[in-house]
Each structure stands twice: as structure tokens, then as C-alpha cells.
Amino acid sequence: MTSVPAVNSSDGAQTGGWNESSGAAGSPPDGNLSFPAAPPANFSNQFVQPSWRIALWSLAYSAMVAVAVFGNLIVIWIILAHKRMRTVTNYFLVNLAFSDASVAAFNTLVNFTFAVHGEWYFGEAYCRFQNFFPITAVFASIYSMTAIAVDRYMAITDPLKPRLSATVTKVVIASIWILAFLLALPQCLFSKTQVVPGRTLCYVSWPGGIKQRFTYHIIVIVLVYCFPLLVMGITYTIVGISLWGGEIPGDTSDKYQEQLKAKRKVVKMMIVVVLTFAVCWLPYHIYFIVTAIYKELNRWKYIQQIYLATFWLAMSSTMYNPIIYCCLNKRFRAGFKRAFQWCPFIKVSTYDELELKTTRFHPTRQSSLYTVSRMDSSMTVVFDASDGENTKSSRKKKAPPQEASFNGCSRTSSKTTSTVSSYINSPYTSVDEYS
């Protein structure tokens, strides 16, 4: 992902290279997808900007990078430093935060510098890294979101199935990075720098020429934008119908309501994260597709400003997630308060401390909790594994009549209600998984 500024050769032909990270932008202001194997000998940069405009862009990019890097590092600290935050979903959020912070720190300002000055100052090794790493990091980011969506789908549609273990979660994360490396590898192999009169350029020289370059970037857009968003759209639609349309009528038990609200909050937060990513990256992908088809747009005098704006918007997706977590999740909010408690206007309350240090409920596989509720009465029954033999023998001696009732409810009806309630109260999950 490198920004190769538009340049004009002596014969008037405009050249540039697009190094898509599909998640971290790298592209020339001219957006031309066809960079020749050898750039023309004579170059002149038609996109020279006044100093005040460069200063404004520099301020905008620097502020965005600072918020993205520090915000995501704080998210990583909040999760890893507090045992209560180490859930399956949050492990994927750590991977997402790491990817976003890395792209912001190692790519954005370098790409911006190349786009503004039209010269590569960072050597051939970093040229390869610049074209390779952003695709890798953005692939890891979007598929971490996809993994969370699939995990939410499985947990809510099949709540009695055991959740992913820490080991399986790590294997999934490692697999995501391996696939990301393989997808971005061609960008590394074909990257090169070339010295032309007055400056040095960094670009990707595809052996198959224009068609191969264009085909590769369409594949990247499909794999790192269209396909994962389609999967997340389907899964979150099903999850939303289950959570907002499948509430058990008449069930007013505290545990049921607590877990239902917690699940809804997590799903809302992740939907906002996904929509933010989709909105931020859409103009960037449209920009490259349009400028690849209508090459005359590459000569428009304002095209560089449009590129810098779309690139900033795409990169800004890396800074929104920590803000979303802080606004929509009370535990992340408590964690941010702890991180900024040195500020005179930030106060960490006792409630905030408890949110990160205590655990409300951790059922195990040795016990199952069923919530039984009818009308104004409720009953909680806990079956312990140690009492299993006694319970079985007593059942053999005397089978309870189906007409027996408790608080006006038949035992059969109570059993049915408790089974339905287990849709929300899985023995393998707790409120901590969703809060």
C-alpha cells in the first residue's frame, strides 16, 4: 500500500502505481492501475501544493494517526491487563486493534508523505514492506470482525454448544494472518524502487502488465471488502432477528433479562464497528475503480485532493473503534477512565473498578442453571453432578405425576419453559461474555 503520486512524462503520458491494501490505502493520486515496467525517463510533478494546504493535510493526518495508535494500544491494554476482559470476542478485538494500530503507525504518514512530495525517501526494503503489510493488516482487521460475527451467530443461535476455547481462538487468529500474508505476497515480490531524474519512485511492477494488476486488485477488493461484509450482513441480520424478535413472552427473570440486554449491547457495538468500516472504505474503492476505467480523470487538477480525502477517510477507520468501544461498552469505558485517570477531570469510581475486577457469574459444565418463570413467580433450580446418582435412583422409585404443580404451574409446563429459557442461559456462557 503505497501512494505513488501522479507524474507526467515528457511525452505527456501520466503514470502511477496503485498498491492496494484494501484496508490500508496505497495508491497514487492519479489512481492509474497500470504502471509500466520502467517509468519514463523525464518526469515532472503537476501536483505541487501550496505550503498552507500541505500544513492542513499534515495536521489532519497526524491527529488521525495519534488517535488511532494510542486509542488501539489502550484497547489492547484494557483487555490483556484485566482477566475479566479476556473473552473470545475480546481476543478478536485485540487482533483488530493491533492491525489498526500497526497500519496507522507504519503506513499512513509514509503514504501521505509520498503522495504529497512525489518522492520515495524510505529505501527499497521499506518500499516492499509498504506495499505488503497494509493488505495483510487490513485483511486481519476485517476477518477479525467476521470471526466475531460468526461467533455471535453461533453463540446465539446454538447457545447450548460450548464456546470457542482460548486455544481454538488463537488458531483462528493465526490462520487469518497466514491467509493475509499469502494474499499480500505478490505485492512484496513485485515491488521495486527506481531512480529517475530528480527523484526516486516506489511502485509494483507486475509481470503481466495492466490486466494482471487490475485483476489482482479486484480480487483484493472482493476478499477484503465485499465478501466479509456480505457474511457479516447475513449473520448480524439473523442474530438481530433472534435477539429482538425472539424474546420469551412472560419471562421476567433477572438472569434472562440481564443476558438478553448484554447480548444486544455487544451486537449493537459490533454492528456500528462494521458499518463504520464499510462507510470509510467505500469511497476509497470507488475512487480506484472509477479512475481505472476513466483514465482521463487522472489528469484533473483536483484529483490529488480527492485522493488525499478518500485516503484520510479510509485510514480514519482505524481510530473510530476505540471511541465506539468507550461509548457503547461500560467496561471499556471504565478501562479508558483508568488509563486517563491522571487527567484532573477524569475520576474513576468504585463502580468502574468493580466492572474490571469482579465476575458476576461463571457457570461450569458440572452444573446447569435453568430459569423457570411464569406470571409473577420464578424458581431457580441447580442440578449438581455430585447429586446425579441420588436423583436418578429417586426417579426410578417414584415418578412424579404430570399434574403436580408448583405455584399454580404444571411440572410439564415448567420443564418446557426452562428448556426455552436455556436458549438465553447457556451453561457454557456467562454475562461476562456479553457485557
The answer to whether the CB of 85 falls within 8 A of the CB of 79 is yes
Q: Find cell 514492506 and name the residue.
A: 129
Q: What is the pLDDT of residue 219?
A: 94
3-state SS class at 260 = helix
Q: Find cell 453432578 and name the residue.
A: 385
Neighbours of 115 (CB within 10 A): 25
Q: Give domain limits for the chain.
A: 7-339, 367-433
Q: What is the pLDDT of residue 41?
A: 41
3-state SS class at 15 = strand
Q: What is the pLDDT of residue 397?
A: 45
For the domain bounded by 7-339, which CATH number is listed? 1.20.1070.10
The bridge status of strand 14-15 relative to strand 409-410 is unpaired
Strands of the sheet with 7-9, listed across from one edge:
14-15, 7-9, 43-44
CA 20 to chain centroid, in Å, comes to: 18
pLDDT profile of the chain (435 residues), mean per 10: 40 35 36 35 57 92 96 95 88 96 94 88 93 94 94 84 85 96 94 87 88 90 96 93 68 69 86 95 92 83 90 95 93 91 84 68 41 39 47 47 45 43 43 47
Helices 51-81 & 303-328 angle (0-180, nearest 10):
30
The answer to whether the CB of 98 falls within 8 A of the CB of 72 is yes
3-state SS class at 3 = strand
Distance from C-alpha of 334 to C-alpha of 101, rounded to nearest angstrom? 21
Q: What is the pLDDT of residue 310?
A: 95
Helices 254-293 & 227-245 angle (0-180, nearest 10):
150
